[in-house]
Amino acid sequence: MTLAQLVLVLLAQTAQVGGQLLLKRGMSGARAKLPLVAGGIAFLTFWFLAWLKLLQGLDISYLYPFEGISLVLLVVAARAILHEHTSLQAWVGVALITGGMILVGLNF
Contacts of 5 (CB under 8 A, 6+ apart): 54, 57, 58
21 φ, ψ (degrees, to nearest 5): -65, -40
pLDDT, greater one: 30 or 21: 21
pTM for this model (two decimals): 0.85
Return the pLDDT at 108. 60
Return the pLDDT at 98. 85
Q: What's the average model confidence in pLDDT over 39-45?
A: 98
Nearest to 65 by CA among 90, 95, 102, 96: 102
> Does the pLDDT of residue 27 top 90, yes or no?
yes
- Are the CB atoms for 19 and 43 separated by under 8 Å? yes
Mean pLDDT estimate for the chain: 91
